[in-house]
């Protein structure tokens, strides 16, 4: 468990006004995708996702509790998010030569090559749509789920 946390968190900063959590993008992708993802050696800012929240002042200078509430009431669909993450990793493995074929990925992942073929096109979804899925947008999630089932992602780049 501690190793998972260290692979995921880059830094947590707490002060009297803010809480800042920096998450390693590769670590998050590895947790969501598959155990064979190689973490990048790039320590650049592009590989960090930063979350910041205001910390309310405690009355009378005492201690307080910070509770995060989803302001929109939307929760990302874990199945769709995982499918997109896996597709991105699989496509990267094919593009960089880490995997030679869809069949090789399927054997390593203990799934069928048809399953890999059904999902891999999700790697080409528009960044805007992926962002909306991660925010829990129901319409974007439905579009991504439809792409999962139909193998069609071409119309999703034009969606606003």
Domain contains 94? yes
Do the domain assignments include residue 41?
Answer: yes
Structural domain includes residue 129:
yes
The answer on 55 and 86 residing in a single domain is no
- pLDDT bin (cut points 50, 70, 90) of residue 91 is very high
Q: What is the reported pLDDT for 43?
A: 52
| Assigned domain for 73 exists | no
Residue 113: both structure tokens together: 């090559």
Residues 6+ apart with CB under 8 A from 146: 152
Residues across the chain: 160
pLDDT tens per residue across span 34-58:
555 555 555 554 578 888 877 776 6
**Number of folded domains that form the chain:** 2
pTM score, whole prediction: 0.56
Q: Is residue 54 within 8 Å of 64, Cβ to Cβ?
A: no
Domain assignment present for residue 135? The answer is yes
Asked whether residue 70 is domain-assigned, the answer is no
Q: Is 36 inside a domain boundary? A: yes
Range of the domain at 93: 78-157
């Amino acid at each position: 468990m501690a190793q998972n946390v260290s692979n995921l968190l880059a830094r947590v900063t707490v002060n009297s006004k803010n809480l800042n959590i920096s998450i390693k993008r590769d670590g998050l992708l590895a947790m969501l995708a598959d155990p064979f993802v190689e973490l990048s050696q790039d320590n650049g800012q592009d590989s960090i996702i930063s979350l910041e929240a205001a910390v309310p002042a405690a009355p009378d200078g005492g201690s307080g509790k910070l509770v995060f509430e989803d302001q929109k009431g939307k929760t990302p669909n874990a199945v769709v998010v995982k499918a997109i993450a896996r597709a991105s990793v699989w496509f990267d493995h094919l593009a960089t030569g880490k995997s030679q074929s869809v069949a090789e990925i399927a054997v390593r992942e203990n799934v069928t090559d048809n399953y890999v073929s059904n999902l891999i096109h999700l790697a080409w979804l528009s960044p805007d749509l992926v962002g909306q899925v991660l925010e829990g947008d129901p319409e974007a999630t439905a579009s991504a789920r439809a792409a999962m089932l139909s193998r069609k992602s071409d119309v999703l780049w034009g969606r606003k």
